[in-house]
Amino acid sequence: MTLRQAEGSLRRRGILGAALGIDDRIFVAPAERRMVRAIEAGLEQVEEGLAAELRFGDGLADTTARYLFEAGGKRVRPALTLLTAQLGEGVNPAVVRSAQAVELTHLASLYHDDVMDEADLRRGVPTAHRVWSNSVAILTGDLLFARASAIISSLGDRALELQARTFERLVLGQLHETVGPADGQDPVDHYLSVLADKTGSLITLAGLVGLIFSEAPERYYPAISAFGERIGVAFQLIDDVIDITDAAETTGKAPGTDLRADVPTLPMLLLRRAADDDADARALAERIGSTAAAADDAAFLAAVAQLRAHDVSAATIAEARRWAAEAVAALEPLPAGPVKRALTEFAARVVEREA
């Protein structure tokens, strides 16, 4: 997609569409249009607030903290916060502040993830640890976590506890991913639990703070929690497929980034499972492992292309769709209306995205 095409798409879909992939034109009633405008105005406030929060009064910290923020990002999580707030009294300063805290938490996790995954690109630019160093990237992530916590602490004890528990799950998810499954534990089940912790927990937080600070009915909390957990897993499973695409221009990442770093992904886990009974699958798994560590990029990319064409890629997409369907089913207790419709549409877009 060219820059002009991207700008045209943004004008057609609006800010909310850019964040969640939803075409704003599905909202036609006056009340629905007011909701969309309120969310778009809220997202602009979130963006302005993030720019202000990423100033630390230190030249290096200001530069490193703003690095990935200025590289882009869809702001999926703040958009979800502002959307779920429509189930209550709508966008207010506390909702906006909580959305900023969630996005800062997400941004901080990217700095840490890229170090642990030894990634070279993020959002189309060299990763922070490649530009500076591992230590600078890790400390920048810590700064962002601290700033997110400061924002949340200003919103009360309930928000602070929720943020702390989410942060705990993020760390546990990363720890479990790093050490791998326990003896006798199914690697796929272990991996899905990691995704629920690393991705699902933060999307759940985004939805819940929108409810809490808009004073939405507490009976909606379980539905939004279940939706966030499940759509987070679906989101990451599609990321696993995107990792083996050859469209670095679209994704902002080199093909096979996770495979090179030996980061678990569902296509690779399914390939290893198939290798127990399939000689071709076993040979491909071995080829990916040997070429990932070698200097021969051509051989590695050829192996990645074979993985992309293998049945395990289609199986991963099918699994993502299953999780997305469960996420939509979890919304059943919510009232019919534009919020429920938008969340359902978002779930559909998650499993169709290419970046």
Residue 60, beta-bridge partner list: none
All structural domains of the chain: 3-350 (1.10.600.10)
Which of 260 and 177 is assigned the larger pLDDT? 177
* Best CA proximity match to 160, nearest among 170, 150, 145, 175: 150
Per-residue pLDDT reduced to its tens digit, 229-254: 999 999 999 999 998 987 654 555 67
With a pLDDT cut of 70, the percent of the chain lying above it is 93
Nearest Cα to Cα of residue 350 among 108, 79, 76, 110: 76
Residue 117: C-alpha distances to residues 122, 259, 344 (Å): 11, 9, 32
Mean pLDDT of 214-242: 97
Per-residue confidence (pLDDT) for residue 1, from 0 to 100: 35
pLDDT in tens, 94-121: 999 999 999 999 999 999 989 988 888 8
Q: Residue 10: pLDDT band by 50, 70, 90 thresholds? A: very low
d(CA 351, CA 316): 10
What percent of the chain is modeled with pLDDT above 90?
Answer: 73
- Cα–Cα nearest to 271, from 161, 150, 159, 187: 187
Which residue in this structure is represented by tokens 């959002």? 123
Which pLDDT does position 2 carry in this prediction? 35
In angstroms, the CA 170 to CA 200 distance is: 9
Render pLDDT for 44-61 as a digit per residue (tens, 0 to 9). 999 999 999 999 888 899
DSSP E strand boundaries for 115-236: 121-122, 125-126
pLDDT-derived band at 343, boundaries 50, 70, 90: very high
Residues 6+ apart with CB under 8 A from 29: 338
DSSP SS3 for 125: strand
What does the DSSP assignment read for 186-226?
A: -HHHHHHHHHIIIIIHHHHHHHHHHHHHTT--GGGHHHHHH
